[in-house]
Copies of this chain bind each other. A is one copy, B any other.
Amino acid sequence: MGFTDKKLLSVLKKHGYKLTPQRRAVLKVLSSSQEHLTPADIFEKVQPEYPGIGLVTIYRLLQILTEFGLICEIHANDNSRRYLIRRQPEHHHHLICSSCGTVVDFTDCDLSGLGKRLSRETGFEIETHLLEFVGLCRSCQKEAT
């Protein structure tokens, strides 16, 4: 599981951000969703809780959450626009279905060896990495006949 909305709210508060009902509503949606949502998805899901919220407000909150590393983004899947996602505990990666776009998270990756080598060879000070596997999920394999 990821962060609760209470946790997210407290982080915002700690950094001097105001806790508006709009933000509460968005965080509620984000923290209770198992899927990876676009800003537009979030907009729709917030309607019942806070009709009339501005899409802009969502963009702004997502920007703040990104700064604090509370959400992360899906990068692969060229054609579809960039996705914003609710986050798992910490550092994790994605396994993405190239057909239907389903995303599965996984956490284990051991790239420290490779990271160290790259660092030595290139002089880079490595901060993080992004790892995504792309493939066909079970149900799309079946459909493929």
Q: Measuring CB to CB, which residues of chain A are less than 8 angstroms from any residue of chain B?
A: 66, 73, 75-76, 78, 95, 97-98, 104, 106, 108-111, 114-115, 118-119, 122-138, 141
Contacts and interface: CB of A to CB of B under 8 A. Distances in A.
B132 A129 contact: yes
A115 B30 CA distance: 29
Contact of A133 (B106, B129, B138): B129
Contacts of A138: 122-124
Nearest to A94: B130
A75 B130 contact: yes
16 contacts: A73-B78, A75-B76, A95-B122, A95-B124, A95-B126, A104-B124, A115-B133, A122-B137, A125-B136, A126-B134, A126-B135, A127-B135, A127-B136, A128-B133, A128-B135, A130-B134
A129 B78 CA distance: 13
A137 B108 CA distance: 26
Contacts of A127: 98, 134-136
A131 B134 contact: no
Nearest to A131: B131
Contacts of A137: 122-124
A76 B129 CA distance: 9
Given A130-B134, A133-B129, A97 B75 contact: no
A118 B95 CA distance: 8
B133 A126 contact: yes
